[in-house]
Amino acid sequence: MRDLDFIHFGGIEVDPPDFDEARVVVLPLCYEQAPSYGSGSHEGPYYILQASEQLESMDEETFINWSNIPIHTLAPVFPEGTPEEAVIEMKSSSERVLKAGKFLLSLGGDHAITIGPVMAAKEIYPQIGVLQIDAHTDLRQEWNGSSYNHACVMRRLADDVKTPFVQVGIRSFSPEEAQLIRERDYTPFYAHKIDPFDDSWIDHVVVNLPEVVYITLDLDGLDPSVIPGTGTPEPGGLSYRQVVNLIKQVGRKRKVVAADINELCKIKGSQVSEYTAAKLASKIIVYCINP
C-alpha cells in the first residue's frame, strides 16, 4: 500500500499550490481496523485520488471551475498502533490544516477516520456540529474489541468530544443503538422516511445543524445501486442527487469547515464507486468553499 503512486486531487488537470497558498487541503487517511464485513477501505484514498484525475473540472450546476480553487493534497497518512493511538495521529495530522484556516477534506479509510479530525475541529470551533450521511448510526459503545471502531464513531463524538450531530440516511442499527436513540431522544433522518420526489426534508436537516458544520460522508449512506463498492452496502439508501442537494444546501446556509469521505472498498474491474466518490468530493469543494 505504501508503494502505491498517490497523485494530487485532480491529477494533471490541476496545478497544485503550495500548502500556504491552498484554500482546500486533501488529507488521505489510509486506515482500516477490524472491519465488520467487506474490507479494503484503507486503500480508498488511493482509488479516489486516481479517479479524480478523470473528472472534468467544470461543475455542471454552477459552471464553477473547481480546478481554479487552490487544492493542495498532503502525503498519505498510515496511522499505526492501537486504535486510540491511530485516532491521535489522525487528529494531529488534521490540526495543522485547520489551524492554518484551510478547508480540510479527509479521504478514508474506514469511518473511524472521522474521530481525529472532528476532535481537532472541535478545539478550534467549539460550537461545531456534525452532519453524518450514513446507513448506520455508528452509536455502539464498543465493537470488535475497541471503542474507537468505525461502528462507534458517533458514540465517541457524542460522549467524548461532546459534539452535536444530525444523522441522515439511517437504515441499519443494533438493539443497543435503538435503545440509546430512545433514551437520548435522538431523531435520525431515516432513509425510508425520506421522500425521493421531495427535497423539503433537507430544510429540516439544516435547521437542526449549528452554524459551523463538519460533514462526514460514509459512502454506504448512498444506495448500493449508486456506490456498490463499500464495506456494508445496505439497500434502500440515498440517491446521488439527494446527497448532492443536501451538500449544496448545507454549504449555502452553514459554514462548513471540514469534511471527510470514507468507507470506499474497491471492486476489481469497476470504477463506478471511486469515480462517484471523487465527484462527490468535487461537489463538497464547489458548494462548501466560499467564492
Domains in the chain (CATH in brackets) are 11-288 (3.40.800.10)
pLDDT at 250: 98
User: What was the pLDDT predicted at 257?
Assistant: 98
Is the C-alpha dihedral spanning 79, 109, 95, 71 positive or negative? Answer: positive
pLDDT score at 36: 63
Whether a cis peptide bond, with omega within 30° of 0, leads into 109 is: yes
Residuewise pLDDT in 10s, the chain (291 residues): 666 789 999 998 788 999 999 999 999 999 988 666 657 899 999 999 999 999 999 999 999 999 999 999 999 999 999 999 999 999 999 999 999 999 999 999 999 999 999 999 999 999 999 999 999 999 999 988 889 999 999 999 999 999 999 999 999 999 999 999 999 999 999 999 999 999 999 999 999 999 999 999 999 999 999 999 999 999 999 999 999 999 999 999 999 999 999 999 999 999 999 999 999 999 999 999 965
DSSP of the chain, one letter per residue?
A: -TTS----TTGGGS-PPPGGG-SEEEEEE----S-SS---GGGHHHHHHHHHTTS-SB-TTT--BGGGS-EEEPPPB---SSHHHHHHHHHHHHHHHHHTTPEEEEEESSGGGGHHHHHHHHHH-TT-EEEEE-SB----S-BTTBTTSGGGHHHHHHHTS---EEEEEE-B--HHHHHHHHHHT---EEGGGS-TT-TTHHHHHHHTS-SEEEEEEEGGGB-TTT---BSS--SS-B-HHHHHHHHHHHHHHSEEEEEEEE-B-PPTT--HHHHHHHHHHHHHHHHHS--
Task: Give the pLDDT of residue 145.
Answer: 84
Per the listing, cell 461545531 goes with 128
Task: Read off the pLDDT of residues 185-195 as tens digits, 9 standing for 90 and up.
Answer: 999 999 999 99
39: Cβ contacts below 8 Å, ≥ 6 apart: 32, 231, 265
Three cell numbers written together for 192: 425510508
* Closest-CA residue to 165 (of 210, 135, 119): 210
Sheet of strand 165-170, all strands in order from the earlier edge strand to the far edge: 71-73, 24-29, 103-108, 255-262, 212-218, 129-133, 165-170, 189-190
User: What pLDDT was estimated at residue 12?
Assistant: 87
Contact 22, 10 (CB under 8 A): no
Read off the amino acid at residue 66.
Answer: W
